[in-house]
Amino acid sequence: MSTLFEVRNLRKNFGGLAVTNDVSIGLAPGDRVALIGPNGAGKTTFVNLVTGNLKPDSGNVFLGNEDITTLRAAERVRRGLIRSFQVTRLFLDMTPEEHVALAILQREGQAGRVVGHYSGRPALMQEVREILHQFGLLELSNIKAQEIAYGQQRLLEIALALALRPKVLLLDEPAAGVPQSETARIEAALKRLPADLAVLMIDHDMDLVFRFAKRVIVLAAGTVIFDGLPKDVIADARVREAYLGNYADAGSVA
Ligand SMILES: Nc1ncnc2c1ncn2[C@@H]1O[C@H](COP(=O)(O)OP(=O)(O)OP(=O)(O)O)[C@@H](O)[C@H]1O
Ligand SMILES: [Mg+2]
User: Which tens digit of pLDDT belongs to each residue from 149-205?
Assistant: 999 999 999 999 999 999 999 999 999 999 888 899 999 999 999 999 999 999 999
Asked if 44 contacts 98 with a C-beta cutoff of 8 angstroms, the reply is: no
- Total domains, the chain: 1
Q: If pLDDT is split at 50, 70 and 90, which confidence band does 253 have?
A: very low
Separation of alpha carbons 18 and 223, rounded Å:
9
Asked whether residue 53 is assigned to any structural domain, the reply reads yes
Asked whether residue 82 is assigned to any structural domain, the reply reads yes
Separation of alpha carbons 10 and 82, rounded Å:
19
Asked whether residue 186 is assigned to any structural domain, the reply reads yes
Query: What is the tens place of the pLDDT at every residue in 3-12?
Result: 999 999 999 9
Asked whether residue 126 is assigned to any structural domain, the reply reads no
Asked whether residue 223 is assigned to any structural domain, the reply reads yes
- The domain spanning residue 34 has which CATH number? 3.40.50.300
Residues with CB under 6 A from ligand 1: 14, 19, 37, 39-45, 86
Give the range among 86-95, 126-135, 190-199 with minimum mean pLDDT. Answer: 86-95
pLDDT of residue 116: 61
> What separation in angstroms does the CA of 204 have from each of 98, 174, 229, 243, 244?
31, 10, 17, 10, 10
Print the domain residue range for 237: 5-89+165-250
The alpha carbon of 177 and the centre of ligand 2 are apart by a number of angstroms equal to: 13
pLDDT of residue 243: 86
Question: What is the amino acid identity at position 208?
Answer: L
What is the 8-class DSSP label of residue 115? G
